[in-house]
Copies of this chain bind each other. A is one copy, B any other.
Amino acid sequence: MKKGKTFIISGPSGVGKGTIVKALMEARPDIFLSVSATTREPRKGERDGVHYHFIDAARFRALIEEDAFLEYAEYVGNFYGTPKKFVDDAMEEGRDVILEIDVQGATQVSAKRPDAITIFVVPPSWEALEQRLRDRGTDSEEKLQKRLVRAKVELQAAASYQYMVINDTVEEAVREVSAIMLAEHCRPGERMQLLSEA
């Protein structure tokens, strides 16, 4: 039976990863979008199991001990991680999995799962990224400049990703991600096995 594959999607803050993933999930409800576990408190409107799996710090540490995360990190006193089991179960069912994680997380996952496919989302230009961050209107000028510097650093890491998707329009970006997913299912290893089973 055809097995699912894991696709890691990273990209600088403000590039529109979330919008692309949302549009992709609408077009392809068979895809499994990994939900992170976190120790931080739910914000208003956030639902357990949908936005995050909300667990306490003791449970999170126990899961780290059990090697139950594909990747995890601590930000401002809270833990965030990708639970291994849901990802593996979905792939066994033949579903492709999307992990929307940062460059550090992607490095951890790639070490554990070298067959995971890595996709980095880039803006069509620096001007476009700056404009998008300004349009969000959530950052001070100082914070915005920091985000831009961080984006430039992250883009250097992007060269080590297998694919780079330009978020010019959401439709085109989704078309590219979908093409990458289909193309990666056309690899000889997987296909030779299907043929021998046929």
Contact partners of A162 in chain B: CB under 8 A: 187-188
Taken together as a complex, chains A and B put the C-alpha atoms of A109 and B184 apart, in Å, by: 23
Q: A179-B179, A183-B180, A183-B184 are in contact. Are A195 and B163 (CB under 8 A)?
A: no
Q: Is the CB of B179 within 8 A of A192?
A: no
Question: Which residue, A183, A184, A192, has most C-beta atoms of chain B within 10 A?
Answer: A183
The reply to whether A195 and B165 form a contact with Cβ atoms under 8 Å apart is no
A161's partner among B183, B188, B198 (CB-CB below 8 A) is B188
For A122, give the chain B residue with the smallest CB separation.
B195
In angstroms, Cα B192 to Cα A160, docked, is 11
- Please tell me if the beta carbons of A164 and B178 are within 8 angstroms of each other in the complex: no
Contact B165 A186 (CB under 8 A): yes
On chain B, the residues within 8 Å of A184 by CB distance are: 183
| A159 interfacial contact with B, CB 8 Å | yes
A164 with B179: CB separation less than 8 A: no
Q: Judging by beta carbons under 8 Å apart, are B164 and A192 in contact?
A: yes
Q: Please give the distance in Å from A165's CB to the nearest CB on chain B.
A: 6
A179 contact from B159, B161, B178, B198, Cβ within 8 A: B178
Contact present for A164 and B183 (CB under 8 Å)? no
A188 touching B175, Cβ below 8 Å: no
Contact flags (1/0) for A135-171 with B, using CB distance below 8 Å?
Answer: 0000000000000000000010011111111100000
Given known A-B contacts A124-B198, A159-B192, A198-B125, A176 and B182 have beta carbons under 8 A apart: yes
Shortest distance between the CB of A176 and any CB in chain B (Å): 5
Q: Is A191 part of the contact surface with B, judged by Cβ < 8 Å? A: yes
A-B contact pairs, 26 of them (CB 8 A): A119-B186, A120-B188, A122-B191, A122-B195, A124-B198, A125-B198, A159-B192, A160-B188, A161-B188, A162-B187, A163-B187, A163-B188, A164-B186, A164-B187, A164-B188, A164-B191, A165-B186, A166-B191, A166-B194, A166-B195, A176-B183, A179-B179, A179-B180, A180-B186, A182-B183, A183-B184
